[in-house]
Structure 1
């Protein structure tokens, strides 16, 4: 409990450097922050220690209300990256909207162009431990991403996504009000 008081105090001290920092929110000790003037944090956002968050160029990060970001999470943006309200992101997760090009043979990756694709985490999503949400991923409302999944693509509301590469394994059926497995086609 005492650490949360320090995290709240840290949030107050850091708040003027962010584009927006809604209260009451708290911030555990980060590892690295860059370009946080382009980071907009809603109300009741809880960020645990060891966050790495960076924006490049004119990139933005929007973290909506009532989001929990666990320890050792890395967020990086050179475009628009949004985390929807009520979402929970477990530890060791990576979320980006940046891809590095690799097509020029003999040119180091870091000297090649980057490509930016909007990335969105929908409302009430759950991102499991160690997942990687790659550039261009759009998650609908209340999606569940399994631990260690590598996610790229557009996914509808109310689905469970697992694997590397990730695929949908369950959908919520509003008629039966049950999460139903997706049958595999051979």
Structure 2
């Protein structure tokens, strides 16, 4: 069975973007980026892959799911991850390129995708979608940046049940960024 991984950058105070959805305060240079490029090239958008000459096969994910605001980030691409199957959770979005599918019921869609064979499913953002999909999230991969935003889009937004995760690994980089992976804990 495939897994759903919420792989996302976050500030020390738990925000994945500023109040307008921007992420310019996060660190985009340094040894953590080298690790990201080498180990998770499937999470880089098409223009980043092209600029860096990355044409590596997908290593971890073959599908990406994102919220409408993440998909429509200013300056974004109409098809940001053409090397993955792309889904956008939205009840308002009506037009997308042919390789981007809009889904109104992301929980049902994730359950369908998890029943298929293939690589993992990457939950790219946002906070409301993460809260909706929390029952199906198998793994959290947090890229914690050494910044405090004070306000913005939270890692999880809205109402959701308490869910326990167990730490699987932690890597600290010279930039101060920490990659921490958590897996869903067995419930008592």
Q: TM-score range by the shorter chain?
A: under 0.3
**Larger relative strand fraction:** 1
Asked which structure has the greater RCO (Cα within 8 Å, sep 6+), the reply is 2
TM (norm. structure 1) is 0.22
TM-score by length of 2: 0.22
Larger Rg: 1
